[in-house]
Structure 1
Amino acid sequence: MCLLTWTASSTNYECSEEDSGSNKTEAKKLHIIAIFAILATGTFGCSVPTLGRWFPAISPDKDYFYLVKAFAAGVILATGFIHILPEATIEKLTPPAEYHLGLITGTRRSLVSTIRPLIAALSFHQLFEGLGLGSCIAQGKFSLKSVMIMSIFFSLTAPMGIVLGMGIASSYNENSHTALIYC
């Protein structure tokens, strides 16, 4: 939560010459922070309901957890309606949404001021999407091995997207003829 507070409070929404591409070292540092922050929040969110097997106080069968699951469902729906649905086509719906959002975060190398709010937003989404998914997994009475595999895959999708986006951004020439034509 401290990281979420840092990213939200240190957000600067003004574009400056520093953001135009000269601050790639800062962007890389923020990308690495994003990978671990999003991985941690996704893992935590998915783990809490699963740990309810051994700690009854956090079991997804408890009444108060229905409120958490309803909020998590709202976060998932909002992500779909606000970020994915407007640009959706059949071709674009094939990769998982978290992977797609991670890819967007990873390619943001020149606008350092946009990375911090993306870290906060994706961490928030991963936490509550993890709680929702973890609740479904825990109530599905899967084997521990299946629970671990599903949780790991969920937790890794957005960070893998960030890593892939960083790779794409590092090989992308923003001054190439193709980039200048599509600007």
Structure 2
Amino acid sequence: MIMSTTTAAIVLVLFLLVSNFSVQVVSVVQECGAEDDVGCVDKKKALPLKIIAIASILVTSMIGVCLPLVTRSIPALSPERSLFVIVKAFAAGIILATGFMHVLPDSFDMLSSPCLKDNPWHKFPFTGFVAMLSAIVTLMIDSMATSLYSQNNKSGVVVLPTAESRDQEMAAAADHDHESHFHGHHGHGAGKLINHVEAAGSQLLRYRVIAMVLELGIIVHSIVIGLSLGASNNTCTIKGLVAALCFHQMFEGMGLGGCILQAEYGLLKKAAMAFFFAVTTPFGIALGMALSSTYKENSPRSLITVGLLNASSSGLLIYMALVDLLAADFMGAKLQGSIKLQIKSYAAVLLGAGGMSLMAKWA
């Protein structure tokens, strides 16, 4: 609960800082352009569509993030099984495509808009620069958070390994200790047990850092897309967005839910993280509806604020998908030990990334 509250606070501070920054740098006309298709703009017809969007996205988000958590009792879907790895690879492909095919292009479009002054926005690739900085900052957070968790663990804040891995390691160490006793080496098995437990504990710390940072990136992105949908009165745009966002939130939630499951949090913290993920996009939609009279998608302030947030979110999502999700699994012992499983997982990645890329046609 503390971590989730801290995450929400960080997101709010980031949003306010970028909004304040955009007020300082904007130096063009107050309003620029309007909704693209005037024939589709209807505030009264858009309202029920937005309410449907809030309900449907909330439900699909909750299903997606909770699915890995409630299916743990099913042996085939436990984190130790191959099917879980394949499903996680599919979800990682969704997250990767979200960064490359949705968030990054939106940022390029916004920050290169003719509504913005030529200098500095058209003179420098702010989207690529901010995305690069975001990836570097994510690496810093990833590294430092892991160090802090490790130091706290060494100071006495013990993080136990998962129940399954603990049982497996103890059984393996017990077998080895029996052999060692037979050969007269009584202490060797105990040493192996300590090493196994320490390795499992370190891996668990990494899972917890990954879940925390990934949720931060997803929350930032979810608020931004919800805000844009809520402020829009273009019924043609909203109809396509609702279906695309439901698909997006469900499978992105599956990726996050898998990370939360591997992090072995307590029930309260799992519920808090799932709740924050599920409500951020509906909250963004409601916020956009409340600010629809003052928030204009094509105003310079909105373009700069949302464009910079999208750029930072894309860098974080791309880093997390490639480094903490895909590289960590594909370079791990389980996938490295099976070419067949690697091929299945690569196919899952391509399927997830391809499906999410196709959604870019509508959202």
Q: Which residue of 2 aligns with 1:120?
A: 243
Q: Which residue of 2 aligns with 1:106?
A: 230
* 1:172 aligns with one of 291, 294, 297: 294
Alignment partner of 2:291: what SS? Answer: helix
Q: From the superposition, tell whether residues 173 and 152 of structure 1 become closer, same or farther in structure 2 (CA, over 3 Å).
A: closer
Return the alpha-carbon distance in structure 2 between the equivalents of residues 47 and 57 of structure 1: 17
Return the alpha-carbon distance in structure 2 between the equivalents of residues 61 and 116 of structure 1: 40
| 1:148-159 aligned within 5 A | 148-159=271-282
Ranges in structure 1 where 5+ consecutive residues have no aligned partner: 1-13
Ranges in structure 2 where 5+ consecutive residues have no aligned partner: 1-35, 108-126, 135-216, 303-363
Structure 1 residue 173 displacement after superposition? 8.3
Return the alpha-carbon distance in structure 2 between the equivalents of residues 75 and 62 of structure 1: 21
Alignment partner of 1:96: what SS? Answer: helix
* Alignment partner of 1:39 is 2:58: yes
* Alignment partner of 1:70 is 2:89: yes
Share of identical aligned residues, percent? 43
Q: Which residue of 1 aligns with 2:73?
A: 54
Return the alpha-carbon distance in structure 2 between the equivalents of residues 127 and 145 of structure 1: 21
* Alignment partner of 1:25 is 2:148: no
The answer to whether the 8 A contact 2:288-2:295 is kept is no
Return the alpha-carbon distance in structure 2 between the equivalents of residues 105 and 76 of structure 1: 20
Q: Which residue of 2 aligns with 1:10?
A: none
| TM-score, normalised via structure 2 length | 0.40
Return the alpha-carbon distance in structure 1 between the equivalents of residues 281 and 236 of structure 2: 20
Structure 1 residue 79 displacement after superposition? 1.1
Structure 1 residue 108 displacement after superposition? 1.3
Structure 1 residue 36 displacement after superposition? 0.8
Q: Which residue of 2 aligns with 1:144?
A: 267
The answer to whether the 8 A contact 2:231-2:285 is kept is yes
Give per-residue Cα distances to partners, 1:37-64, cap 9 Å, x unaligned.
1111110001110012334344344322
* 2:285 aligns with one of 149, 162, 166: 162
Return the alpha-carbon distance in structure 2 between the equivalents of residues 52 and 67 of structure 1: 15
The answer to whether the 8 A contact 2:91-2:252 is kept is yes
Larger Rg: 2
The answer to whether the 8 A contact 1:105-1:162 is kept is yes
Q: Which has the higher helix share?
A: 2
Give per-residue Cα distances to partners, 1:103-140, cap 9 Å, x unaligned.
1111111x101101111111111000110000110111
The answer to whether the 8 A contact 1:48-1:58 is kept is no
Q: From the superposition, tell whether residues 61 and 40 of structure 1 become closer, same or farther in structure 2 (CA, over 3 Å).
A: farther
The answer to whether the 8 A contact 1:51-1:59 is kept is no
Structure 1 residue 167 displacement after superposition? 1.0
What RMSD over aligned residues (CA atoms) do the two structures have, in Å?
A: 2.6
Q: From the superposition, tell whether residues 143 and 172 of structure 1 become closer, same or farther in structure 2 (CA, over 3 Å).
A: same
Structure 1 residue 144 displacement after superposition? 0.6
| TM-score, normalised via structure 1 length | 0.76
Q: From the superposition, tell whether residues 84 and 55 of structure 1 become closer, same or farther in structure 2 (CA, over 3 Å).
A: same
Return the alpha-carbon distance in structure 2 between the equivalents of residues 158 and 141 of structure 1: 25
The answer to whether the 8 A contact 1:45-1:127 is kept is yes
Return the alpha-carbon distance in structure 2 between the equivalents of residues 173 and 150 of structure 1: 29
The aligned amino acid for 1:65 is F
The answer to whether the 8 A contact 1:51-1:58 is kept is no
Structure 1 residue 66 displacement after superposition? 2.1
